[in-house]
Structure 1
């Protein structure tokens, strides 16, 4: 699916690069989920992203850092990006319905 002229793979690569610039080796993965991952997004849909990190201490700080890093990408594609930072070990435990859904249906970048 195209996101404002950018292919999904290119979008994921761009988001990952932006997040790596902020998190470095703490970044464990970027997973696209929701309507964009299913190919069902509309022009008014947001882009849902799970950001897997080593050690999430303060979720509020991590959300701010993610949104700041991804803001230029959102401007480029003309869509809102909804980033959810998650501790990678918690995600891998799959003890939450959202994590289970993303594990089944998400697109890794």
Structure 2
């Protein structure tokens, strides 16, 4: 997978992604954030969102997702961006079952690791 430094993003998009990762990792230290979709492929338009897969240790429930979406919303307002966020448990994503998740192949192919 590519890294964030290897793709072309607007400065506000890059800063938004980095701030999202920083805040999420304060609450979930082992969280992995993977950029995917048009921003990762380099074929985005001006109105494209920033697609992010978040992988967390342990179980992921509605409470966890709601907290993450609330954090993301504040960052969206601050940087004038829109996130499309998917939150999954690492245990699921790294299992054989993940192959049946519709976006799995494209994220494996085009995903960008945020470091």
Write out aligned runs for 1:21-60 (5 A).
21-25=26-30, 27=31, 29-58=32-61, 60=62
Runs of 4 or more, structure 1, over 6 Å off, are: none
Q: Report how far residue 40 of structure 1 moved.
A: 1.7
Cα RMSD (Å) of the superposition?
A: 2.0
User: For the residues of structure 2 that align with 1:89 and 1:50, how far apart are their CA atoms?
Assistant: 14
TM-score (norm 2): 0.76
Q: Which is richer in strand?
A: 1
User: Which residue, 17, 20, 37 being the options, matches 1:12?
Assistant: 17
User: Which residue, 55, 62, 65 being the options, matches 1:63?
Assistant: 65
Q: How many equivalent residue pairs? A: 104
TM-score (norm 1): 0.79
Contact 1:44 1:79 survives alignment (8 Å): no
Q: Which has the higher contact order (CA 8 A, sep 6+)?
A: 2
Structure 2, unmatched stretches of 5+, are 1-7
Structure 1, unmatched stretches of 5+, are none
